[in-house]
Amino acid sequence: MTLPLVLEVLIQGMLTGLIYGLMALGLSVIFGVVRVVNFAHGEFAVVGMYGAFILFTTLKIDPFIAMAPLAALFFVVGYGLQRSLVVHFIRRPDHEQFILLVGLAIVMVNGLLMIFGPDARHVDLPYSYDSWMLGPVLVDKVRAYAALAALGVAGALFAFFRYTQTGLAIRACADNLTGAAVVGLDIDKLYALTFGIGLACVGAAGALLVSIADVTPMLAPAFTLLAFTIVIIGGLGSMGGALLGGLVIGVAEALASIIIAPSMKTMVSFGLLVVILALRPQGLMGKRAA
Amino acid sequence: MRREHFLLGLLAAVLLALPLALDRYQTSVLVLVFLAAYMGQAWNVMMGFAGLLSLGHALYLGLGAYVSAALFVHFGLSPLLGLFVAVLICVGVAMAIGALSFQFRIEGVYFALLTIAFAEVARIGFDHLKWTGGAGGFFLSVAGSQGQWWNLRGGPLFFYYVSLAMAAAAFALCVALRRSKLGYQWLAVREDAEAARAVGIDVTRARMSAVVVSAAMSALGGVAHVFYYNNVFSAQIFDMSRSIDIMLAPIIGGIGTLFGPILGAFILIPLGEALIHATQALGINAPGAKAVFFGLALMIIIFLAPSGIWPSLRKRLGIGEGKP
């Protein structure tokens, strides 16, 4: 194993990790505000991937452009889902929320299987195999673009939550629900907006993911687990934590692929998960729960 | 004689005599019903009684299957002895996961996630373990061992009675547990762990015992599974969808009820089979359609009747089943 190879894998892991981070960000935002754990998160990511795949094969739309309409569509879906279904579960016991969303996940992944079959599909961009040489280190162009786009979306989201009225109102709901209701915020609407934003993240992440990886329905449960692992490592409910967790997992899995074996990389992230749960259950950037 | 005893006796008599009226296929469907009822009962001990949501119960099913099969294939050890090893190993793993969780106060969604993570680790681990066939699956030879009941070798009829006995025993065990002191402690912990602690219940011990009982029961389910199917594939037995299949019957029947897992299994499994036949006839992807249907059933039940079908059916039959 040479140094350039290690550097190459490190960079690749970081770039992939940022895209994972964007996906996990959606999960984190939904949990942080609505306090509902989206067990169908990976399924939404894979639907996003198929969406971008279809737009590319039928209309020749580049996934980096398809990202915008997909995010908008996913926002609407998330808004509707919260308003119609999840809203009835906000005050129900945790396990009922999980089971509802696990049921949704099963419907989604098997629906995808029925429509697309189990075969892997991929998007062949004109610049799919281009790369830069940074000295002796090779960097994939597509992966770098996708990581930049993920950072861009995450940055926009940070700005939204920091500088807009709606963003601040949503954060108020997360910090103190009773207080937010007392000052007259429309909680139901803000929750629905949040769920929409969370799914928009995952829709955009799906479009980016399809530019760097093949898509099959069976990715969905793996992505759900991945998003959870990232969010717990970074800190459930922390936005920066989701990106950091994505970076950590991306790098850890990439290194595990070359040091141990590609098929064992998931074990490394679960190992990290167990260590974090034991030593720092609030995650790297999470606040300690009371 | 109370009404529920009469109905239960009637059900037992019918089930004991039923194979006389069934063909091979129908018998095999009922084997699946009993195994699902059995595993549902095991899962229910953790979730229904002690309030610990496991989304990774496939871990214990798979470990039980692999351990007993490996001992049988490599050392010729009868599964009737091998099951003790399988139970011991599953209990050990369960205690390790329990210790990790309860020591570090991993609860709720974190706990559920941890159970999935361990099942996934086992899946990947057994994928790479050449001793048990790796990703290609592990097979029990069928030839030359017909009728060796002490090695759990037999056809659907044999397994009909094995699985029926297992489901009945699991039901009886759960009835006894529910009425025991431990059973009441579980309910107290499930409803309010802090209050339970305040009245002097050792919450960690109560939870740990639920995990151990559930894991030991699931290990036996794994033994029956592998000797019935004669094969086990790590990618299937440890899969998350397997864990979800295990939860389906008790959720539909009624989480935390004693008869719910049995009722759920009797509804779900035949319905699933019928659905497979119907969709195959229509030329649709049958396994996918079945899973979509189960997913929808899960959502509808949890939306409309989160405590399952049994509680309302029970009232209609005029049966009291303790307080839930």
Interface with B, mutate which of A39, A101, A110, A230 (most B CBs under 10 A): A110
- Domain A3-279: top CATH class: mainly alpha
Cβ–Cβ contacts within 10 Å for residue B183, how many? 20
CB contacts under 8 A, B 280-319 vs A, are 284-285, 287-289, 291-292, 294-299, 302-303, 306
Q: Model confidence over A133-190: pLDDT tens digits?
A: 887 888 888 899 999 999 999 999 999 999 999 999 898 888 888 888 888 888 889 9
Residue in B closest to A229 by C-alpha: B113
Q: How far is A103 from chain B (nearest CA, A)?
A: 4
- What amino acid is encoded at A175 in this protein? D
Q: What is the pLDDT of residue A237?
A: 75
Could you please report the per-residue DSSP string of B256-284? Answer: T-SSHHHHHHHHHHHHHHHHHHHHHHHTS
Per cent of chain A over pLDDT 90 is 49
Taking alpha carbons only, the member of B18, B53, B51 closest to residue B34 is: B18
Of B128, B244, B255, the CB nearest to A106: B244
- Does residue B166 have a pLDDT over 90? yes
Domain count, chain B: 1
Interface with A, mutate which of B190, B251, B302 (most A CBs under 10 A): B302
Taking alpha carbons only, the member of A246, A67, A215 closest to residue A149 is: A67
Chain B residues close to A107, C-beta within 8 Å: 292, 295-296, 299
Q: Can you give the residue ranges of every domain in chain A? A: 3-279
CB contacts under 8 A, A 9-38 vs B, are 37
Q: Model confidence over B185-204: pLDDT tens digits?
A: 999 999 999 999 999 999 99
Of A103, A263, A264, the CB nearest to B296: A103
The residues, ordered by sequence, that sit 6+ positions from B169 with a Cβ below 8 Å of its Cβ are none
Residue scoring higher pLDDT (A56 or A175): A56
Place of tokens 């999470």: A286
Residue A80 confidence class, pLDDT cut points 50, 70, 90: very high
CB contacts under 8 A, B 104-143 vs A, are 104-106, 108-110, 112-114, 116-118, 120-121, 124-125, 127-128
- Range A119-130 average pLDDT: 84
Residue B324 confidence class, pLDDT cut points 50, 70, 90: very low
CB A16 within 8 A of CB A254: yes
3-class state of residue B231 by DSSP = strand
Interface with A, mutate which of B240, B248, B284, B290 (most A CBs under 10 A): B240
CB B250 within 8 A of CB B37: no
> Cα–Cα distance between A62 and A68 in angstroms, integer?
11
- Range A266-287 average pLDDT: 83
Q: What is the pLDDT of residue B323?
A: 42
Tell if the CB–CB gap between A278 and B104 is shorter than 8 Å: yes
Could you please report the per-residue DSSP string of B46-57? Answer: IIIIT----S-T
The residues, ordered by sequence, that sit 6+ positions from B104 with a Cβ below 8 Å of its Cβ are A277, A278, A281
> Cα–Cα distance between A37 and A225 in angstroms, integer?
12
Residue B208 placed within a domain: yes
Q: What is the pLDDT of residue B163?
A: 95
ipTM: 0.85
CA–chain centroid gap for B205, Å, is 23
- Return the sign of the alpha-carbon dihedral for residues B204, B207, B212, B215: negative
Tell if the CB–CB gap between B117 and A270 is shorter than 8 Å: yes
Contact of B268 with chain A, judged by CB distance below 8 Å, is answered with no
Tell if the CB–CB gap between B302 and A263 is shorter than 8 Å: no
Tell if the CB–CB gap between B100 and A278 is shorter than 8 Å: yes
* Long-range contacts, A171-178 (Cβ 8 Å, 24+): A171/A33, A173/A33, A174/A32, A174/A33, A174/A237
Q: Model confidence over B251-269: pLDDT tens digits?
A: 999 999 999 999 999 999 9
Domain interval for residue B162:
25-238
Q: How far is B54 from chain A (nearest CA, A)?
A: 10
Q: What is the pLDDT of residue B1?
A: 54
Residue B6 placed within a domain: no
Q: What is the rounded end-to-end Cα distance, in angstroms, of chain A?
A: 46
> Cα–Cα distance between A238 and A259 in angstroms, integer?
31
Tell if the CB–CB gap between A106 and B117 is shorter than 8 Å: no
For β-strands A137-140 and A131-134, DSSP reports them as antiparallel
Q: What is the 3-state secondary structure (H, E, C) of A117-177?
A: CCCCECCCCCCCCCEEEECCEEEEHHHHHHHHHHHHHHHHHHHHHHHCHHHHHHHHHHHCH
Chain B residues close to A286, C-beta within 8 Å: none
Tell if the CB–CB gap between B117 and A225 is shorter than 8 Å: yes
Residue B284 placed within a domain: no
Residue B249 placed within a domain: no
Report the alpha-carbon angle B95-B101-B107, nearest 5: 135
Greatest CA separation found in chain B? 60
> Cα–Cα distance between A144 and A211 in angstroms, integer?
11
Q: What are phi and psi of A132, to 5 degrees?
A: -105, 150
Residue B298 placed within a domain: no
> Cα–Cα distance between A262 and B91 in angstroms, integer?
31
Chain A residues close to B55, C-beta within 8 Å: 98, 102
**Helix A41-59 vs helix A63-84: crossing angle, to nearest 10:** 140
Q: How far is B286 from chain A (nearest CA, A)?
A: 9
Q: How far is B9 from chain A (nearest CA, A)?
A: 34
Residue B122 placed within a domain: yes
Q: Model confidence over B9-65: pLDDT tens digits?
A: 889 888 888 888 888 899 999 999 999 999 999 999 999 999 999 999 999 999 999
Tell if the CB–CB gap between B299 and A111 is shorter than 8 Å: no
Of B113, B251, B294, the CB nearest to A106: B294
In order of A87, A272, A281, the CA distances from A81 in angstroms are: 8, 33, 30
Q: Model confidence over A198-213: pLDDT tens digits?
A: 999 999 999 999 998 8
Residue B98 placed within a domain: yes
